[in-house]
Amino acid sequence: MTPSYAELQVTTNFTFLRGASHPGELVRAASALGLHAVAVTDRNTLAGVVRAHAAARETGIKLVVGARLDLADAPAMLCLPRDRAAYGRLARLLTVGRRRAPKGECEIGLADLLDHATGQILIALPPADGGGHGFERHLSALRRRIGSSVYLAANHLYRGDDRARIDRLAGVAARAGTPLVATNDVHAHTPARHRLADVLTCIREHCTVDEAGYRLAANAERHLKPASEMARLFRDHPDAVGRSVAIADACTFSLDELRYEYPDDEATPGDTPDGALERLTREGAKARYPGGIPDAVARQLAHELELIAALDYAAYFLTVHDIVRFARDRGILCQGRGSAANSTVCYCLGITAVDPSRMDLLFERFVSAERNEPPDIDIDFEHERREEVIQYIYRKYGRERAGLAATVIHYRARSALREVGKALGLSLDTVAALSGTVWGWRSEPAKEVHIREAGLDPEDGRLALTLQLAGELAGFPRHLSQHVGGFVITRGPLSEIVPVTNAAMEKRTVIEWDKDDLDALGMLKIDVLGLGMLT
């Protein structure tokens, strides 16, 4: 009988400088191997799950959304939410840890986890030394506090003592009442990424491969394996393999369940967002057309309002209108632009200054039921006063309901060459000459002719390896930064949709997803941008 297996411990490159594969690569590889399911469990983050979700939709494999929680006062845990409510608790837990720490860091304690443990499946990760009796007591206490949803992970990583170590863990699991589950502590979709994983370790540890020693993984086994291989490795504990499938089946949550609701604060009591939008639009139309609303404009307004109501976008337009109203009440110059200028509703609300009826502009370029794409309104504010608008949004909706979108900063060709070259021990002069063969923000690899012109030999072994690994590293995420002004505002707690983190800039908070992630999930944002010429 063909065994079945779900990989529940997967680190992507959104665990910066640890994971050696993109989320999509890992999901597609898991599907090609015929795995029952695959989880994404990056360290204290959900930043990569949307990309994994998109790949899972393409391939049909089940994705288990989760995170590895590195606790400040207890061994690490894999946290896998069973349902939408549990996912909200996980996102809120990560928000708590991120908000109390500087940008890029997360501080979570065991008490925080226990406060958010309802509906979670927790898989304890044993310390490298096994943890001894203290770890066993910790597991037993968790089992008493949380119940039967606590498990113990076991890895077989060809370290020489695997069978004996897994046998000991099985004994610990039996005594603590936390069943053993097989995982592979995956850091790459293929063993071929082993050398890149070593380079990432060196970049993280600020050393070269010649100095790294035991900081490097002993082998290339932290890659996805088929169910048959996992069954062979855990042949003495077959239940640990089967248990991975049962856990994956118990986790029914999908990111498709995230129902994004725009705030309806602008609708007065007893009114609906659609009613409020129609009223404000009609009032604006009378001001725009003091001699009377032309029949063509009236028909266009009726068409736009009908489509906006059908797609449930009225609250979005009301929120944009309120932000523009705030700016103009305080004399802050602003102007909407882009495809929003195709909307007569936006013109009547004062968001844009272009009359679409005079320019014969097509509204469906902005909002269309057939395209199934959310509207995206860009508003330029005078640069020197844009921060007033940003802080108004934070004040009005609270940081629990409003946050800037993230921007993923990636390694490009030049930075990849520089970092890989240093990790492989090339001299600083060589690294400078090599990175100088790439210009600007290009992501294309260095060309052989340019390398030779710089006085370097592209066929030299270490230099050739640098070029190869830099090509693999280019496009990897380096860190999260803040979008120039893309705001996500929600009706309910934003932190139950996506973790919220501190930005480097004071008084700014940022979500963990970028504009592409938001588009993939159909979440709306408002671009609050700065324009120097308005100042």
Residue pLDDT, tens place only, 236-252: 999 999 999 999 999 99
β strands within 120-210, DSSP E = 120-124, 150-154, 180-182
CB atoms under 10 Å from CB of 455, counted, come to 9
Supply 109's token pair: 């304690």
Q: How far apart are CA 475 and CA 470, in angstroms?
A: 10
pLDDT recorded at residue 413: 87
Q: How far apart are CA 404 and CA 511, in angstroms?
A: 6
Q: How far apart are CA 399 and CA 145, in angstroms?
A: 32
Task: Give 50: exposed, middle or buried? Use CB within 10 Å, 0-12, 13-18, 19+.
Answer: buried
pLDDT recorded at residue 181: 98
pLDDT recorded at residue 326: 94
pLDDT recorded at residue 443: 55
The pLDDT tens digits of the residues spanning 9-31 come to 999 999 999 999 999 999 999 99
Taking the model in full, what pTM does it have?
0.91
Q: How far apart are CA 118 and CA 137, in angstroms?
A: 21
Supply 246's token pair: 């049962």
Q: Which residue has the tokens 């990760």?
A: 125
Q: How far apart are CA 534 and CA 366, in angstroms?
A: 25
Amino acid in the structure at residue 427: S
User: CA of 532: how far to CAs of 333, 382, 384, in Å?
Assistant: 11, 6, 8
Low-confidence ranges of the chain (pLDDT < 50): none
Query: Residue length, the chain?
Result: 535
Q: Which residue has the tokens 């898991």?
A: 30
Sheet containing 62-65, strands listed edge to edge, beginning at the edge strand earlier in sequence: 6-7, 37-40, 62-65
**Residue 11: φ, ψ to 5°:** -105, 120
pLDDT recorded at residue 486: 87
DSSP string for 401-454: TEEEEEEEEE--HHHHHHHHHHHTT--HHHHHHHHTTS-TT--SPPPHHHHHHT
Host H or E run for residue 136: helix 132-146
Those residues with Cβ within 8 angstroms of residue 294's Cβ, 6 or more apart along the chain or in another chain: 357
- Answer whether 317's CB lies under 8 Å from 345's CB: yes
Supply 277's token pair: 């939008």
